[in-house]
Amino acid sequence: MNVLKLTNKSITGTKPRLLITASIHAREYTPAELATRFAEYLVSNYGKDADVTWMLDSQEVWLVLQSNPDGRKKAEAGASWRKNVNDTQACGNGLFGADLNRNFTYAWGTGGSSTDPCNETYRGVSAGSEPETQNLQNLIRAAFADNRGPARTDAAPASTPGVYMDIHSYSQLVLWPWGDTTTAAPNGAALQSLGRKLAYFNGYTPEQSVGLYPTSGTTDDFAYGELGVAAYTIELGTAFFEPCSTFTGTTLPKNQAALLYALRVARAPYQLGSGPDSVSLSAPASVATGASFTLSASADMTRFNTSNGAEPARTIAGAEYFIDTPPGPAARRAP
């Protein structure tokens, strides 16, 4: 299992991270393609696009393009395969394997998974039993510091950096913890705000994970539950296999915009995700040395998806701008 890491290595120091894992369910091809295209976009636009250049200078993107490689081979051979290919548990219907997205150790086996090895949502013989799960958990722990206490009711600090995203298909949803209870997570309000912001870009329905159906032992509950990092699942599209024209014309551009926003706010997602956005910016293309110029910008609070509830009204108290020096911790109000 490989990890692709993107950043400007010549600029050192601790940088906020966006970690993306894709296609943990083998038959879900679209997530792997989206993650690959997103990486290609960042690399090809570095040094050309000011936003991409700033983000890769000051932040890191980690991508696992294929989170279930053995299962993927099974699917490519023609099976509608969801799980990994662990065949150590007897299974009369031939659908052996563990559902990797029910095998993560946080709140494992608390509902929304099966103890039947033949079931599509079989949770494995024990929490974290599968090598793919172990690899991904180690990666998530390496990517993010632990900023949350051990109790379910412990909130992470509002300044906690980093965003974790697990990309799936299908259902056109933006989901956040918890998946095993209707109780909101301790950082639930902030998770919801950023979820609605991401859903503004891809047009999907934003909701707490349990709203789709109960789950446990999942990637996003692990990342948030163990470490307090802002964690999301995006369900792409309307079918496992869609025409390439649908992917390139709709799924890719809308979800690439959502991923770019996630990277843009990765230094403080719980704060920036509920704040205003700069929706227009203008300045001269070039300015003579020592000359003055006018910078015009506007910011508002409109970029939230309101299909599943509206955000509370907030007053924009101020804005900041930066020339040459990228925004840091003191600039969290203006992504």
| Per-residue model confidence as pLDDT tens digits over 189-231 | 999 999 999 999 999 999 999 999 999 999 999 999 999 999 9
Q: Scan for tokens 């696992």, then name that residue.
A: 64
pLDDT-derived band of residue 335, with 50, 70 and 90 as boundaries? very low
Q: Where are the beta strands (DSSP E) in the chain?
A: 4-6, 17-22, 60-64, 163-169, 173-176, 205-208, 230-236, 277-282, 296-300
pLDDT of the residue at 53: 94
Q: Which of 60, 130, 132, 235 is catalytic?
A: 235
pLDDT-derived band of residue 332, with 50, 70 and 90 as boundaries? very low
Whether residue 242 lies in the annotated active site: no
> Sign of torsion, CA 115 121 124 128?
negative
**Rounded alpha-carbon distances, angstroms, from residue 106 to 50, 180, 247:** 39, 11, 33
> Which own/partner pairs from 44-47 qualify as long-range (CB within 8 Å, at least 24 positions apart)?
46/8
Kindly report the pTM of this predicted structure. 0.94
Segment 239-260, tens digit of pLDDT: 998 899 999 999 999 999 999 9
DSSP 8-state secondary structure symbol assigned to residue 246: H
Of the CA atoms within 13 Å of residue 167, those in its CB half-sphere come to 31
- Paired tokens of 224: 């948030």
